Amino acid sequence: MTRLIFDYGHGGTDPGATYRGRKEADDVLSIGKAVAAEVRRHGVTLDETRTTDKTMSLRERSNLENRKKYDYFISFHRNAFQPEKAKGVETFLYTTGGAQAKQLAERIQKELVAVGFANRGVKRANFHVLRETKAPAVLIEIGFIDNTADNQLFDKKRKQIVEGIARAILNQVGVTYKAVASNSVTPEKPTSSSTGTLYRVMAGSFANKANAEKQVARLKKAGFDAVIMPK
């Protein structure tokens, strides 16, 4: 069984890089947890070094990873240099990182460049969380927080960023990424009001009856009451 661990940089008393009221710690926690949800949706076991805005030392992060056997360690960060002077994404592995870490870094980098970020390449570095973790490890710098264009990409292309990173990770561990159907919504069980009225939620409209029947089958399997109602 594949087991991953995600690390969201900084947090608590350490905001990381900041720019115009924006904090790296908040950005990476938000987008990292969204990627985690996508990966878990595909049945992959995943742990996280933090899930709230709390302070964690580098040693605490690597110690947490060392307690279990993980297939990959992935650390989320945002870059900074001088305001509006640098832009783009880069993905790091340790100076002596092996083929697995390099392949994962290249997959992630390719997905982020496809979103529209400038390509700063896959690089090697002697970062603590890359050096002191046992599993193949990568560190992602998702654009520069002190660059307006990168921040706009980070916000406006959030869905594509999340899906891209998740797709790269899943492909690396041999799981095919499956996008959520755009013509469906998260189903909810009918709820009743104090008058006893039931409210039903639509979960898609289909021109092809076979597709409608497949949707009904999926909903019933999930425990929801579902019927086809021709228009």
Residues known to be catalytic: 141
Q: Which residues contact 152 (CB under 8 A, 6 or more apart)?
A: none
Pairwise CA distance, residues 27 & 7, whole Å? 13
Select from 150, 135, 142, 54 the least CA-distant residue to 100: 135
| Paired strand residues for 7 | 75
For CA atoms 38, 111, 101, 122, give the dihedral sign: negative
Contacts of 194 (CB under 8 A, 6+ apart): none
CA atoms within 13 A on the CB side of 25: 16
Q: How many residues does the chain have?
A: 231
- Cα gap 166→39, rounded to integer Å: 6
Other residues' Cβ atoms within 10 Å of the Cβ of residue 67 = 10
